[in-house]
Structure 1
Amino acid sequence: MIAFVLGLALALALVAAKVRYLGFPAQKPADYSGQGPEFDLRRHLDGPILCEGVVYGPTGRVVSRFTGDFLAQWEGNSGTMTEEFRYDSGATQSRRWSFKLANDGSIAADAPDLVGSGHGMQQGSGVNLRYRIRLPEDSGGHVLAVTDWMYLMENGAIINRSQFRKFGFLVAELVATMRPKEAA
């Protein structure tokens, strides 16, 4: 029995080490330094933006699809982005982000459903944000740790991948594309 418990503890420690040091959350902004195109939030997340994506549950199956209309605006290094989401269930969600971009590329982010502030960095073709978000009460009101990565493509599209964790365990993942909305 002791050998089983020790084996289980070792297996869990190895999985935790893999996630922390080798997996998606282990990426660093410097991994994208020198890679182009150069991602600048003020330029690439500006104006009306169309977003389309899916949310995967903890088993890796799609649990939701969504579209979103965003409007991002910047004054110098301060910006806001409003997001209006429509889910395949018929549900809607709104969020308003506030961003402050420092000259070194570091980012401070705030939104009403964040617990504390988000922090990140833009470097090369990637942008990383980490924050804690409180889910709506009808979704359990849980606080999740989020690792959010955005990658700028050559054509100006942005691929967004986010992982949501509770007590270190992956509970959801989001993959979305964002691109400037075409003028009507």
Structure 2
Amino acid sequence: MKPSALMIAALALLTACASPNVQQYQALEPKLDLPSYFLGTTHAWGMFQRRGGTVVKRFKVEITGTGDAQQLTLDERFRYDDGTTQRRVWHLTRGADGRWLGRADDVEGEAQGEVAGNALHWQYTLLLPIDGSTYAMRFDDWMFLIDDCTMINRASMAKFGIELGQVTLMFRKANCPA
């Protein structure tokens, strides 16, 4: 029996939508240790792009990390290019299996993350205020440690399974040389 063109197309579409497994980065270095990277002050610069690639918002973030190897608090202070500001405080807990769980006031339920090698894969639903309404947006968030001072983050934002845009950030630890 030959597979139908429709079955092949459906399989290709499902495969294309599948997210990579974070474990494929297990052997890559430098190894990402969230508390080691985020304790103290970290600066970030980022942008939000619509699905078509248009940049609609740029921002800077100052992050203050406190805690220890099991509990980490990240106090994020955003300043957007339109002059608005926002604050998000993450409370992260290392799970027994080495995964990370996170909560913040504008996150619905619990964020779940897994670290392997130089990568962190986060998934969560962020409650975004837009024009007087709040929308629950699903984030598929990937962070990659480049060196001891630099990390790059790319997150896909979706609603009802349809990607609406992407957030790209570059993190730099404050205590690193320029």
* Structure-2 residue corresponding to 1:52: 45
Return the TM-score normalized by structure 1.
0.85
Query: Identity over the aligned pairs, expressed in percent?
Result: 27
State the number of aligned residues: 172
The AA in structure 2 aligned to 1:17 is L
Give the corresponding residue for 2:151: 158
Match for residue 32 of structure 1? Answer: 25
- Measured at CA, do residues 131 and 90 of structure 1 come closer, stay the same or move farther in structure 2, by a change above 3 Å? same
Structure 1 unaligned residues grouped into runs of 5+: 1-6
- In structure 2, distance between residues paired with 1:124 and 1:116: 27
- The 3 A distance-change label for structure 1 pair 123 and 103 is farther
Pairing of 1:30-179 with structure 2 (within 5 A): 30-138=23-131, 140-179=133-172
1:180 is displaced (CA, Å) by 0.9
Distance 1:57 1:75, change over 3 A: same
Displacement of 1:148 = 0.7
The structure where helix makes up a greater share of residues is 1
Do 1:162 and 1:173's aligned partners in 2 also have CA atoms closer than 8 Å? yes
Q: Return the structure number with greater strand share.
A: 2
Determine if contact 2:93/2:102 at 8 Å carries over to the other structure: yes
CA distance in 1 between counterparts of 2:135 and 2:72 reads: 28
Q: TM-score, normalising length from structure 2?
A: 0.88
RMSD: 2.2
Stretches of structure 2 that go unaligned for 5 or more consecutive residues are none
> Could you tell which deviates more after superposition, 133-142 or 79-88?
133-142
Match 1:20 to one of 17, 37, 55: 17
Greater shift in the superposed pair: 37-46 or 133-142: 133-142
Amino acid at match of 2:43: L
Label 1:31 to 1:46 Cα distance change in 2 as closer, same or farther (>3 A).
same
Check 1:170–1:50 CA distance in 2 against 1; reply closer, same or farther (3 A cut). same
